Structure 1
Amino acid sequence: MARDVARRLAARRPARGTDRGDVPGWVLITLMTAGLVLVLWAVAGPALSDVFTNAIQSVTGEIGG
């Protein structure tokens, strides 16, 4: 009986090597994330640079830099 159950379970399982996972999905997510970072960087880059420069100047004591 145990062999019969094991045989049935083995028959339900797909053969090894057929499971590729969700590689295309992960590639798409990675590319979309990279694109989103580039767009945000292009839009907010100058403002973030100014914020960083002002923060560094306020810490170091430089004024009008």
Structure 2
Amino acid sequence: MRQWIQQRLGDERGDVPGWVLITLMTAGLVIVIWGLAGPALSGVFDQAISRVLGGV
């Protein structure tokens, strides 16, 4: 049983190129979404802060 567990754990090297691709694609999506939504979110934040501080 112990040998079987060690053999199974030794075979679990993972799919490194797949994980790298997923990480790079996620980072790319975050950059694109941030670039598109950043100015709008900044405007919403500025408007909310001005209302909290008493401005219009």
Please confirm whether the aligned pair reaches a TM-score higher than 0.5, indicating the same fold. yes
Q: Residue in 2 aligned with 1:3?
A: none
Aligned equivalents of 1:55, 1:35: Cα separation in 2: 29
**In the alignment, residue 32 of structure 2 is paired with which amino acid?**
V
Superposed structure 1 runs of 4+ greater than 2 Å apart: none
Which residue does the alignment assign to 2:48? 55
**Separation in 2, partners of 1:23, 1:58:** 49
1:13-52 aligned at under 5 Å gives the runs: 13=7, 16=10, 19-52=12-45
For structure 1, the 5+ residue unaligned runs are 1-5
- TM-score w.r.t. length of structure 2: 0.71
Rg larger in structure: 1
Q: Matched residues, percent identical? A: 62
User: 3-state DSSP class of the match of 2:23?
Assistant: helix
Query: 1 CA distance for matches of 2:16 and 2:52?
Result: 46
Structure 1 vs Structure 2 CA RMSD: 2.3
Aligned length: 53
